Amino acid sequence: MLEINVSSPSEKYFKKLLPKHKRQVSEKIFKLAENPKASDVGPLRGFKDYYRADIGEHRIIYRWSSVTIFITLIGKRNDDDVYRKLGRMAK
């Protein structure tokens, strides 16, 4: 299992979630730490080495190394704001 590193914006978003959504998102993050290339995830177009995973109403943007998974952003699934934030972070 990979070590989990959650960014400050992701942590802030996570704290605002309802308990049910917190549970769903955290379970997905732990599954990603076990297998970051799961069949239900895909590479993020336009951002090298970044992947996206959907869970319920939320999207998780992440990347990983040989020992750590980096949870870069968590946001609304049908909201382009998560990609705008990622674009600003990548600059």
List % helix, strand, coil for the chain (3-state, nearest 5). 35, 30, 30
Total tally of structural domains belonging to the chain: 1
Which residue segment(s) compose the domain that 63 sits in?
3-90
The C-alpha atoms of residue 52 and residue 25 are separated, in whole angstroms, by 13
CA distances (Å), origin 25, targets 78, 88, 89: 16, 23, 22
Task: Report the predicted TM-score, pTM, of the whole model to 2 decimal places.
Answer: 0.89
pLDDT in tens, the chain (91 residues): 999 999 999 999 999 999 999 999 999 999 999 999 988 999 988 888 999 999 989 999 999 999 999 999 999 887 788 888 888 887 6
